[in-house]
Amino acid sequence: MMTSRRTLLATGAALAAPRIASSQAAWPGERPIQIIVPFPPGGGTDVNIRAMVPHFERHLPGARFVVMNRPGAGAEIGYTAMATAAPDGYTIGTVITPSLQTITIERQPRYRLEDFAFLGTVVEDPSGFQVAPDSPFRTVAELVAHARANPGAVSVGTAGIGSDDHLLMIGLERAAGIRLNHIPFAGQAPTVTALLGGHIQVASMNMGESMGLIRNSRVRPLASAGAARFPMTPDVPTFREAGYALDTRVVRSLVVPAATPPPIRDRLAAMLAATMRDRAWIAEAERLEIPLRYLNAEDTRALVFSEAEALRRLWTEQPWRDQ
């Protein structure tokens, strides 16, 4: 008797279904869930995520987590690893805006924003200008006046082209009608070394990640971005107070591959929401000086795509690779 192709397909689907169901039923206890961090160990993002792991495990019973650092190419290597991972709930990624979007505008990476399903945000850290303790610049007005009188003479160090640090510098140039000298570095540490060594006059760095430096008087904050003063540095004025409405910042979010099954996505999103409400985690974040901000999955996605559109407009008007 001949067996029809339709019968064979139906039989194959029936045999495969129990395996898929069994795999999903075993989640999350079958093996550790890896969290990809697209930066080296020891940085702000790495410390942040590692500190959250015990809280994740409490809010997702049966789960075990392991942090995997995948640095390189300005975070592109890590983002690609997240986007191309198996959508089985065993890979979570940490993404950072605006680098997540600027990479897709500057070049053609192996990922798209649509390749991610967003679980929610963890951190919002405003950009800021820091100077050496003995710097002659006491205010943004003094810095701008000097830059106007000496075009290109003020060197500003950042964590790289297209970073929020760089975008803050470009924003001030555009708003104040000045020209600064951009010096990109591979992270905060070499930027600070250059600042304290007198090789640059300004370091553009996130306020939260600079708190240790500020507290120990290794740097002096000149101004922070955003509509209001950064809560951790209430005595530091904003650029807006100096007349420049600049609002650049880093936002850290968690993602999974877009094809991850909705039930798994929902449980991971619930885990994150519970962690962000957890008093123990909030207290630990305060101790570590991590500026928390939670947005749910839908609001996080909306934020990422709206920022991407604004960045595309900026690229059309003033490509930041030319700066």
Per-residue confidence at 44, pLDDT binned at 50, 70, 90? confident
> Both 117 and 256 in a single domain?
yes
Query: Where residue 177 sits, what CATH number does that domain have?
Result: 3.40.190.10
- CATH number of the domain that 118 lies in? 3.40.190.150
Looking at the structure, tell me whether residues 229 and 131 fall in a common domain.
yes
Looking at the structure, tell me whether residues 143 and 233 fall in a common domain: yes
Residues 99/101/102/103 CA torsion (nearest 10 deg): 80
State pLDDT tens for residues 251-265: 999 999 999 999 999
Are residues 79 and 120 both part of a single domain? Answer: yes
- Quote the mean pLDDT of the chain: 90
* Range 292-303 average pLDDT: 97
| 300-309: average pLDDT | 96
pLDDT at 43: 83
Give, in degrees to the nearest 5, the angle at Cα 22 between 16 and 24.
105
Q: Which structural domain range is residue 182 located in?
A: 126-248
For residue 279, pLDDT beyond 70:
yes
The pLDDT assigned to 252 comes to 96
Domain count, the chain: 2
Confidence bin at 303 (pLDDT 50/70/90)? very high
pLDDT of amino acid 68: 96
Distance of alpha carbon 155 from alpha carbon 201, whole angstroms: 5
Half-sphere exposure (Cβ direction) of 66: Cα atoms closer than 13 Å: 7
pLDDT of residue 18: 45
Looking at the structure, do residues 62 and 176 belong to the same domain, yes or no? no
Tell me whether the omega of the peptide bond preceding residue 98 falls within 30 degrees of 0, making it cis: yes
Looking at the predicted structure, is the pLDDT value of residue 54 above 80?
Answer: yes
Distance CA(306)–CA(170), nearest Å, equals 19
**Mean pLDDT score, 18-36:** 74
Q: Is 112 within a domain? A: yes
Whether 89 and 268 have beta carbons less than 8 Å apart is answered as: yes
Please give the residue that has the higher pLDDT: either 188 or 142. Answer: 142
Burial track 34-59 (b if 16+ CB lie within 10 A, e otherwise): bbbbbbeeebbbbebbeebbebbbeb
- Identify the three-state secondary structure at position 250: strand
Co-location of 93 and 59 in the same domain: yes
Asked whether residue 270 falls in the same domain as residue 163, the answer is no
What is the 3 state secondary structure string of 110-130?
CCCHHHEEEEEEEEEEEEEEE
* Domain boundary, last residue among 248, 283, 304: 248
pLDDT in tens, 179-193: 999 999 877 888 999
